[in-house]
């Protein structure tokens, strides 16, 4: 097969540029972690010896609230450890892409920093070999159903109206951020307004120490409750799942395919939220996907309020056949007045995103707009 032949080609990275980008969100989003009004993110750009360019997004946030990583710590790890490790390294599809995390095994954790560089290298490989990224990943699905994530809102009338607009726009599922005292009433308000919409709740670890409060959600008819307990827990989630009819979805607790296996062994969840940045990139995401499918767990691709670069990568990943639930990735204008990809990410039909045959996403970057949003830059020549 042509793509297989190209997949054996060798590639070498000769330069890497990090750009810290700050983009205002269209509207602030409130979660149990706090209010988010700005997308503060590192864009990783690699250039190969043959001149191909790959780009990716390191999704570490400004503060260590979702995971322990931040924009600043990821910048440090990328600059001082990960990027220099790629000097004089030949990369091909078999040895260099799917097992990149093994090369960085001596560097503990720092999965988002690793993912930023690893995914940029995949992107460059797709560009250099002229193989569409989704095909390089092993994907077959050509369109992806999209859900929407709504922040907490004490105005129930406004929340209902926002949910109705989302359904009118075509979104296939609604997710609501919740916390103790801000859970049953807003979820029931959406359920009254939209009795048939698939609905889920995202707790972002807010119920640690008060898991008994979740019993009241069993009557709402939810698809799942996402990460209600500690961000690094599996055992307590197993005890909770045994008491709830509603499926538990694990997010922050899952960093690898081994975590999926451990969670399934003790019945800690019935669904996995896979975010490529959280598990270390595309190679690890493929392993998580395969393990979830093998174990019969529900699977979907979460979001980190990504720019269009991260959105296009998430959509390519969702082409793998095991993603049976709507993704959190949606059109660019859901979050940004002006995105850094052109054209922006949009629905190709209401509620569905096309998996485009892009040989890397660098061709979609609006470099002038990226310049406008860049507040810090560093280039490392290998």
Residues designated as active site: 177, 275
Cα distances from 253 to residues 193, 231, 274, 278, 327, in angstroms, run: 32, 5, 10, 10, 19
Question: Which of 334, 317, 375, 367 lies closest to 122 in space, CA to CA?
Answer: 317
* Integer Cα distance of 381 and 84 in angstroms: 9
User: Could you tell me if 10 and 92 are in contact, meaning their C-beta atoms sit under 8 angstroms apart?
Assistant: yes
Q: How far is CA 256 from the centre of its chain?
A: 14
Taking residue 349's Cβ as centre, other Cβ atoms within 10 Å add up to 9
* Integer Cα distance of 110 and 360 in angstroms: 24
* Integer Cα distance of 88 and 100 in angstroms: 15
Token pair belonging to 30: 């409130």
Count the residues in the chain: 382
* Integer Cα distance of 356 and 255 in angstroms: 27
Dihedral sign of CA atoms 371, 376, 380, 381 in order: positive
User: Could you tell me if 20 and 71 are in contact, meaning their C-beta atoms sit under 8 angstroms apart?
Assistant: yes
The residues near 304 (Cβ < 8 Å, ≥ 6 apart) are: 59, 61, 66, 275, 277, 310
Write the Ramachandran bin of 31: left for phi over 0, alpha for psi from -120 to 50, otherwise beta.
beta
User: Could you tell me if 173 and 197 are in contact, meaning their C-beta atoms sit under 8 angstroms apart?
Assistant: yes
Residue position matching structure tokens 């797709």: 126
Taking residue 2's Cβ as centre, other Cβ atoms within 10 Å add up to 9
User: Could you tell me if 269 and 241 are in contact, meaning their C-beta atoms sit under 8 angstroms apart?
Assistant: yes
Token pair belonging to 107: 């560097």
């Amino acid at each position: 097969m042509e793509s297989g032949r190209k997949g054996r080609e060798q590639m070498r990275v000769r330069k890497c540029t990090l750009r810290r980008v700050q983009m205002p969100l269209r509207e602030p989003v409130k979660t149990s972690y706090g209010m988010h009004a700005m997308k503060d993110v590192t864009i990783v750009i690699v250039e190969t010896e043959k001149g191909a360019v790959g780009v990716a997004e390191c999704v570490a946030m400004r503060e260590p609230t979702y995971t322990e990583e931040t924009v600043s710590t990821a910048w440090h790890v990328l600059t001082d450890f990960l990027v220099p490790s790629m000097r004089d390294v030949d990369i091909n599809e078999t040895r260099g892409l799917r097992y990149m995390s093994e090369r960085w095994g001596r560097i503990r954790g720092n999965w988002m920093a690793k993912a930023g560089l690893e995914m940029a290298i995949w992107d460059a490989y797709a560009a250099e070999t002229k193989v569409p990224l989704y095909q390089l990943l092993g994907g077959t699905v050509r369109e992806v159903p999209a859900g929407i994530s709504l922040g907490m809102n004490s105005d129930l009338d406004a929340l209902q109206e926002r949910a109705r607009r989302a359904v009118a726009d075509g979104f296939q599922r609604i997710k609501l951020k919740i916390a103790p005292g801000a859970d049953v009433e807003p979820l029931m308000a959406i359920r009254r307004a939209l009795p048939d919409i698939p609905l889920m709740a995202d707790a972002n670890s807010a119920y640690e120490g008060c898991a008994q409060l979740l019993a009241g959600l069993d009557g709402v008819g939810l698809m799942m409750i996402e990460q209600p307990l500690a961000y690094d827990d599996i055992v307590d989630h197993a005890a909770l799942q045994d008491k709830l009819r509603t499926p538990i979805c694990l997010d922050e607790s899952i960093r690898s395919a081994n975590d999926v296996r451990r969670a399934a062994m003790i019945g800690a969840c019935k669904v996995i939220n896979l975010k490529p940045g959280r598990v270390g990139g595309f190679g690890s995401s493929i392993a998580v996907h395969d393990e979830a499918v093998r174990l019969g767990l529900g699977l979907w691709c979460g979001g980190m309020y990504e720019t269009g670069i991260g959105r296009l990568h998430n959509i390519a990943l969702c082409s793998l056949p095991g993603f049976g639930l709507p993704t959190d990735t949606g059109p660019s204008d859901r979050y940004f007045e002006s995105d850094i990809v052109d054209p922006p990410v949009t629905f190709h039909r209401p509620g569905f995103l096309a998996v485009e045959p892009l040989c890397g996403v660098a061709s979609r970057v609006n470099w002038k707009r990226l310049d406008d949003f860049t507040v810090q830059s560093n280039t490392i020549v290998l």
